[in-house]
Amino acid sequence: MVTKEEICNEMKEAILAYDKAKCIELAKQGIAEKFKAIDLINDGLTPAIQALGEKFGRGELALPYLMVGAETMQEVLNYLLETMPKGEYKPKAKMVLGSVKGDIHDLGISIVEAVFQANGIHVFNLGKDVPKEKFLAKAEEEGADIIGCSALLTGTLFEQKVMANFLKKQGLREKYIYLIGGGACPSAQWCEQIEADGWATDVLDALSVAKKVLAEKKGIEI
């Protein structure tokens, strides 16, 4: 008889091997064995994506491989979430995420989505070229805690400031945690200048920042 630990370890190995079909098969096997989906997520998927992120951070893994791993993990995660009874999946926080207006790249967004969701932060991924109004409308609709704006192109970096100013004008700046990131290389100075709550260019750093600010501003422990 297979154990939950064996299923979780094999799921992790499948993700590290970029074998989506095998990982989904293992997830289905775990559900058939009556193991809780949340345990398969916490003990199988989360350690796998964290391991990939750490390898990427050490320069041992190229970005395309990290993205393939994240996409594999996301598909398996979506399957497991669908198997859970309504109301059982209770993320500790919600985040609206996307690339700012004019930025036609969503490189890395799927990685952030996968890592954050595996760690209890439900992500509403709006994709690329997202206007400020759409960010806010989705955040209001879903009761989000965080708005995350990515800018890959230097020419679109200013849109991160536009978003911050838009929140202020709506009188909603204090309602949301505002995080920035992306390949346009935001910095602590830029973050301070536009009065964002945090910044990162690495997904695991971004997760650490999100956890810290959620605890400080919302009293939410992840």
Query: From the centroid of its chain, how far is CA 103?
Result: 19
Using the structure block, give the residue that is written with the tokens 């074998």. 19
For range 27-52, the mean pLDDT: 90
| Whether pLDDT at 185 is above 70 | no
Q: Do domains 4-83 and 93-218 have the same CATH topology?
A: no
| Whether pLDDT at 70 is above 90 | no
Query: From the centroid of its chain, how far is CA 50?
Result: 12
Give the predicted TM-score (pTM) of the model: 0.82
Average pLDDT of every residue of the chain: 91
CA atoms of 12 and 205, how far apart (whole Å): 21
| Whether pLDDT at 183 is above 80 | no
Query: Could you say which of 1.10.1240.10, 3.60.21.10, 1.10.730.10, 1.10.4190.10 is the CATH number of the domain covering 4-83?
Result: 1.10.1240.10
| Whether pLDDT at 144 is above 70 | yes
CA atoms of 111 and 67, how far apart (whole Å): 6
Q: Residue 79: its pLDDT value, please?
A: 92
| Whether pLDDT at 13 is above 80 | yes
With beta carbons less than 8 A apart as the criterion, state whether 66 and 111 touch.
yes
- pLDDT per residue as tens digits for the range 148-161: 999 988 889 999 99
For range 3-11, the mean pLDDT: 95
Token pair listed for 220: 């939410």
Higher pLDDT, 199 or 56: 199
* Amino acid in position 101: K
Q: Residue 193: its pLDDT value, please?
A: 95
User: Within 10 Å of residue 190's Cβ, how many Cβ atoms?
Assistant: 16
> CATH homologous superfamily for 93-218?
Cobalamin-binding domain (3.40.50.280)
| Whether pLDDT at 56 is above 70 | yes
Sorted by where each begins, the domain ranges of the chain are: 4-83, 93-218
